[in-house]
Amino acid sequence: MIFSNSRYSDSTVVTVDKDGSDVAVIVPSAQKAYSFQYANHQIAAGERIDTLAYQYYTDAKLWWRIADSNPEITFWDNLTPGTVIRVPVL
Reported pTM: 0.67
User: Do residues 83 and 42 make contact, with C-beta atoms less than 8 angstroms apart?
Assistant: yes
Q: Are residues 18 and 39 in the same domain?
A: no
Q: Are residues 23 and 44 in the same domain?
A: no
- 41-72 confidence digits (pLDDT tens): 999 999 999 999 999 999 999 999 999 999 99
The answer on pLDDT for 34 being more than 80 is no
Q: Given this model, what pLDDT does residue 36 score?
A: 83
**Owning domain of residue 4:** 1-32
Q: Are residues 16 and 38 in the same domain?
A: no
Q: Model confidence at 5, in pLDDT bands (50, 70, 90)?
A: confident
Q: Given this model, what pLDDT does residue 81 score?
A: 96
Q: How many domains does the chain have?
A: 2
Number of other CB atoms surrounding residue 58 within 10 Å: 8
Distance CA 46, CA 9 (A): 31
Q: Are residues 13 and 53 in the same domain?
A: no
